[in-house]
Chain A
């Protein structure tokens, strides 16, 4: 408003002083340019940060994946050599298998469990409020503490789990040392840590469903299980869809838990892609090879996300309650 009034005043002012028109025109032009530039200037810091910390590293990683480099010596161009090596390495397939197994089981168990718990915890009773905050605690605790606690619980000699199994007359399990068991132990811990978050998100999505729908369903003789599948699930589908995607991406990127609890062992049984990248990059100093793995991880997440969207997004109900 003020600007426009000022402009008007200036336009009116022009005929009075002869040397002014040009200066006014330039001023006007500058002002218009400044106005047009304002939004770009505003987002510039964010874009710049994104470029420096996201876009540049990605491009650098892609570039690096075409070289052999040990961080000290000269960089040797190998083209797709790193990828060729990757695909011919049997360990790589083991790591990929581990990654998918971890992702699939962690996400599916966590989401299904979270759904079941959310159905029971959504009722606003005092006990439920307490339980909801209890179950959320693991999500807040740092992974370091979680790893320590569970490594202790799962210790095959003096861990609490085996102690209790012993009390119950069962033989102990070598939770983290048995190559056939370790991955499942990791999944248990991952589910335990992430469950609270999923429950809270799903509970709040369920709270957004108008209660009248359930009343209408009651009048329609709807059994609880059917109400869950025909009303609750479709109504929370946007949240569920997004939450599952976030879970999938997070599971693909698991690192700290592996590093802290098993170091990828025993015999690579719990080695996952990101941990493998870390090992090749910063332990074996094969940065090109690690970068090639990184590129692959990126593509993998992109493809999985796209496939996930393609398969499910049509079945998600968007648009408010009517």
Chain B
């Protein structure tokens, strides 16, 4: 088995309740795997255990088939990019990057060549002799990346490396990382709580909640086939609209011919149909809603309706702008997701 494998991993800090219990996780070699989940769900903990910075209390971790127990962080063939970069403040950019190479006694000529190459790759040539405190956030980020790349690791571990950057830079580095991943062909394990980052960069997403994997798969499969309410509502912006079946009225499940056991219904905002109540489109169930907020975003618009059944979002690509007031909203039957009592998807 190549890549990374966690088998029955458990982690408890001190004498506390375990934050991760019996976790099985497979990360394929060469994948860009994103660990995604809300704050406190254990993403960093998992990453740090892979890095060897945190010791698992039970279970095994394999990297490329090798049991990592007792292997020091430096010997795991990994490199890590920290959220706040953790650059050595007293060293220059160059010293920061070459520190790891010096430690393993890479010959000077090779070292210089490798440092030179990555510095050029991340565009830091001019700043090579500066100390981190005289660099901008984005530049520091690049140093941190360079420090990881120069080691030529099999695995890159990144813990929310973009969260300290502004939106524009974030978007730019996102594409840089995709490029980098394709170019290096190494395994990337990337931690974030931002589903946009996960969807845009990941080839594989591991959605976590409370230390448990709720769903793992490609961005497409996670988006189009959520296996539970949590996944459905975590992925997508705005999140999936969810309506309780009982709010549709007594006997709704049979009236609307929904699968047995349906407790709630969901549909994506981009599938929300907005009508004025005249001439209901075929196969669409509409209910009354008041438009309470509107975000016009150029190529698309997001509308927020208040209905008797709860808040319903609509995401409309182009077309004319919907005016504030009373409308009817709904969705086509084929776009409905059904979930049972426990929040698991039906079918």
Contact = CB atoms under 8 A, between A and B. Distances in A.
Q: Do A and B bind each other?
A: yes
Interface of A: 210, 212-213, 215-223, 226, 230-231, 234-235, 237, 317, 319-322
Contact of A222 (B85, B103, B135, B151): B103
Nearest to A209: B89
Given A222-B99, A231-B88, A216 B82 contact: yes
B317 interface: no
A220 B91 contact: no
- Which 10 residue pairs of A and B lie closest in terms of their CB atoms, listed nearest first? A221-B74, A234-B90, A220-B100, A212-B86, A322-B132, A216-B86, A221-B103, A322-B133, A317-B90, A218-B73
B133 to A, nearest CB: 4
Nearest to B48: A215
Given A319-B133, A320-B133, A322-B132, A219 B89 contact: no
A154 B51 CA distance: 54
Instruction: Please tell me the size bucket of the interface on B.
Output: 20 to 34
B274 interface: no
Interface-central residue, A218, A222, A223, A322, by most chain B CB under 10 Å:
A322
Given A218-B74, A219-B80, A221-B75, A320 B89 contact: yes
Given A219-B51, A219-B74, A317 B99 contact: no
Contacts of B79: 219
Given A212-B84, A219-B79, 13 more contacts: A212-B82, A213-B88, A216-B86, A218-B73, A219-B100, A220-B151, A221-B72, A230-B88, A231-B90, A317-B89, A319-B133, A320-B133, A322-B133
A107 B100 CA distance: 34
A221 B73 CA distance: 8
Contacts of A220: 74, 99-100, 103, 147, 151
A322 B87 contact: yes
A226 B151 CA distance: 19
Given A221-B74, A322-B87, A226 B133 contact: no
B151 to A, nearest CB: 8
Interface string B91-117: 100000001100110000000000000
A238 to B, nearest CB: 11
A219 B88 contact: no
Nearest to B98: A220
Contacts of A213: 86, 88-89
A236 to B, nearest CB: 10
15 contacts: A213-B86, A213-B88, A216-B80, A218-B53, A218-B72, A220-B100, A220-B151, A226-B103, A231-B90, A235-B90, A317-B89, A321-B89, A322-B85, A322-B87, A322-B89
Given A221-B74, A221-B75, A319-B133, A216 B103 contact: no
Contacts of A223: 103
B206 interface: no
A20 B294 CA distance: 62
B62 to A, nearest CB: 19
B78 interface: yes
Interface in B190-241: none
B140 interface: yes
A128 B78 CA distance: 33
B78 A216 contact: no
Contacts of A219: 51, 53, 73-74, 78-80, 100
A301 to B, nearest CB: 30
A218 B86 CA distance: 12
Nearest to B87: A322
